[in-house]
Structure 1
Amino acid sequence: MLPVDLQIIKYIFFEKPMYHFKIKPFLKWNIYQSLEETLSLYEKDTRFHQKKLEELDFTIFDLETTGFFPEIGHEIISIGAIRLNGLHACRSRKFHQIIRPIRPVNNQTLRLTGLTKQQLMDASPFIEGFTNFLEFSEGSVLVAHPAKFDMRFLRAMLKRWKLPDYEPHVLDSQIMAQWLLPHVKHQLDPLLKYVGIDKRERHHALNDAIMTAELFQFLLSKALNHKIETLDDLYTVCRNQQKAKQQS
């Protein structure tokens, strides 16, 4: 893989114009126009703020990507998710979508994710995969580990596809872990080991989402024991945790 500075140059002068060219035919698809309308009308459900955490639905999700920097053309190649209702996992409600990338995927990424070139060639474009994810996660709070990375990727992909921004309710299970388990490294693997969650094959979007969901259940239970009752309560402690980290 090229160094990041060379990737930036390559993206600006060669790949960005190519993206615009390759995406252009999709802009006439009905699904694109429907997604554009859905996102332009999207509003957060303000009732979530004061709702009891045990009564909320959560969508715990994970992305597999071709790199760490969506701003220079790295793409989402799969989305995995599972629904929870409070502390209860909806095991029958799982989501896994492979996304067809615009540019070729290097062998290192293929080996890491276990995806094949054929699977990616046969997959749905981003607009279709994201539409399906929106439908799956409707009426829920999104959770990811770390959410900052995954939401940055989703928003960058939407911007690249000339679609409106997406601002759902989001929780970061990594920040929750920093607050509730300050003595444990906050990356996913050490947390899984500490909590005693069976480890599945990593870098598979659905597997990672399921493991993160099991971790989130554990963290949510601990938060409730700390008298955190509503989504607003949880947002407050997470914001305080971020401020404390920035000041340390």
Structure 2
Amino acid sequence: MVMNNMFQWVRQFSGVDQSNPQHQSFMRHLQKELKAEQPLTKPISSLRITVLDLETSGFYPDGGDKILSIGAVKIKNSNVQKDDTFYTTVQEPDALSEEIGELTGLKKEELQEAPPLADALTAFYNFAQTDLLVAHHASHERKFLQHATYQAIGTSFKHRLLDTSFLMKIAAPEHELHTLDDWCGHYKIPVENRHNALGDAVMTAELWKRAVEGTMEQGFETLHDVYAHLNSRTR
């Protein structure tokens, strides 16, 4: 009993919830499959892509900010699959400020009824499988997924996650644009459902599609080609 209580105390102190072995088993199996993937040498147009967006309560997961919703859409054969999407809110009603609620349209009531973080993340990974992940300003998504995956499931974040700017350095190097709105304006992508996780994911997917087209027009066929070119420019 003492050891049991000690284990519970350590788990609570570390913030890691390892109470669902099914989640961990699924993630371990998925991560083994990820190791077998070779996305760098495949034609860019053939890559299986899941484009995602997170709405969060702030910018600092280590400081207590939370994931509030997750949206994602598939890209197959360079086409955005608007009928193959994922969306969930997360059970974090206390993390939703009035300001973020106004920005995202999220309500405390829907967050109260949403699945807990571990379930929401596992459902997302089940949707993404071993796809290459893409996001706009991906450092935001990366740090939240790294933190949340470990805290909620007890495993590390292993997916390869690329930023849209990675290909924009090849496809449109003359444009120093930053926001999703600016890039969508440049490519005449309709801005719809802004600051909704799924809406932003769909717009980001359309942006990635344009980036792939521009990159291939420049003669780059694989991600390995892109990495080699960008590395040569920094020497």
Normalised by the size of structure 2, how large is the TM-score?
A: 0.85
Whole-angstrom CA distance in 2 between matches of 1:236 and 1:202: 35
1:90 corresponds to 2:94: no
Paired residues in the alignment total 225
Aligned equivalents of 1:40, 1:229: Cα separation in 2: 26
Matched, 1:205 2:190: no
| Structure 2: gaps of 5 or more residues | 1-8
Instruction: Name the stretch that deviates more: 227-236 or 55-64.
Output: 227-236
1:52 is the counterpart of 2:43: yes
Counterpart CA distance in 2 for 1:162 and 1:214 is: 31
Q: Name the CA distance, whole Å, in 1 between partners of 2:214 and 2:117.
A: 36
Tell me how far 1:146 sits from its aligned partner: 1.2
Q: Which moved more, 1:181-190 or 1:113-122?
A: 181-190
Once residues 97 and 204 of structure 1 are traced to their aligned partners in structure 2, the CA distance between those partners, rounded to angstroms, is: 11
Partner of 1:70: 61
Moved more, 30-39 or 204-213: 30-39
The answer to whether the Cα contact below 8 Å between 1:62 and 1:208 also exists between their aligned partners in 2 is yes
Q: Give the C-alpha shift of residue 107 in structure 1.
A: 1.1
User: 1:237: how far off?
Assistant: 4.1
Match of 1:124 among 91, 111, 115: 115
Q: Are 2:215 and 1:233 aligned? A: no
> For the Cα contact (< 8 Å) 1:53–1:229, is it kept in 2?
yes
Give matches, 1:133-212, under 5 Å. Answer: 133-161=124-152, 163-181=154-172, 182-212=174-204
1:121, distance to aligned residue in structure 2 (A): 0.3
Distance in 2, Cα, partners of 1:168 & 1:228: 23
SS in structure 1 opposite 2:206? helix
Deviations 1:158-206 (A, max 9, x none): 2333612112122210232244323241221111001101111211000
Please tell me the residue identity of whatever aligns with 1:219: A
- Report the counterpart of residue 6 of structure 2 in structure 1: none
Rate the CA distance shift 1:38–1:214 in 2: closer, same or farther, 3 A: same
- Partners of 2:158 and 2:232 in 1: how far apart? 21
Determine the C-alpha separation between the residues in 2 that align with 1:98 and 1:85.
25
Q: Which region of structure 1 is more displaced relative to structure 2, 151-160 or 29-38? A: 29-38
Structure 1, unaligned runs of 5 or more: 1-16
8 Å CA contact retained: 2:170, 2:215:
no
2:225 counterpart SS class: helix
CA distance in 1, matches of 2:95, 2:140: 22
Does the CA contact (< 8 Å) of 1:36 and 1:163 recur in 2? no
Deviation of 1:48 after TM superposition, in Å, equals 2.0
In structure 1, C-alpha distance between the alignment counterparts of 2:119 and 2:231, rounded to whole Å = 34
Give the deviation of 1:123 after TM superposition.
0.3
Question: Which amino acid is 2:165 matched to?
Answer: Q
Task: Give yes or no for contact 1:54–1:87 (8 Å, CA) kept in 2.
Answer: yes
Please provide the CA RMSD for this pair. 2.6
The percent of aligned pairs where both chains have the same amino acid is: 28
**TM-score calculated relative to the size of structure 1:** 0.80
